[in-house]
């Protein structure tokens, strides 16, 4: 069985997400980063995980603030990482909350047969609310009244 060439960190992936594909303008060594384990800079690459740096020599992903020897810059990087992580979490929670609410409202449509007109009207209203919640969760904010 072939061994993985790159380290894997499922927790980093879950918490921070994957870095988008693309070509970096600057490499970590050009920005002053050093590996916190081996001290090398020419072996560093941007990790597949957002806010992480991967060291080829150590085959390990490190949070980018740990790779910055300048403590003032490391603090700023740390605060940026926290801010990005909180924003990502808020977006994820909002989307999941809207999807859950939409599912709850959809379930309101499952009235037993023989419901009176008032209940049927409520079901129509709940169905439309469910559609609006789904559009909002997908980022389609425009209301269609």
Same domain, yes or no: 97 and 130: yes
- Token pair of 76, please? 């700023």
β-sheet bridge partners, residue 54: 45, 61
Q: What is the pLDDT of residue 121?
A: 46
Predicted TM-score (pTM) of this structure: 0.62
Strand-pair category, 60-63 with 44-46: unpaired
User: Pick from 52, 67, 82: which residue ends a domain?
Assistant: 67
Residue range(s) defining the domain that contains residue 45:
10-67
Count, in order, helices (H) and strands (E) of the chain: 3, 3
Average pLDDT over residues 62-73: 96
pLDDT at 145: 44
pLDDT band at 65 (very low <50, low <70, confident <90, very high): very high
């Amino acid at each position: 069985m072939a061994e993985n060439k790159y380290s894997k960190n499922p927790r980093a992936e879950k918490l921070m997400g994957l870095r988008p594909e693309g070509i970096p303008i600057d490499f970590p060594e050009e920005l002053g980063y050093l590996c916190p384990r081996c001290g090398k800079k020419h072996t560093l690459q941007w990790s597949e995980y957002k806010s992480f740096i991967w060291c080829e020599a150590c085959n390990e992903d490190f949070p980018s603030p740990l790779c910055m020897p300048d403590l003032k810059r490391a603090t700023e990087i740390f605060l940026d990482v926290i801010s990005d992580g909180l924003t990502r979490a808020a977006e994820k929670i909002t989307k999941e909350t809207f999807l859950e609410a939409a599912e709850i409202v959809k379930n309101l449509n499952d009235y037993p047969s023989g419901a009176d007109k008032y209940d049927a009207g409520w079901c129509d209203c709940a169905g439309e609310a469910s559609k609006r919640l789904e559009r909002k969760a997908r980022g389609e904010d425009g209301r269609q009244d």
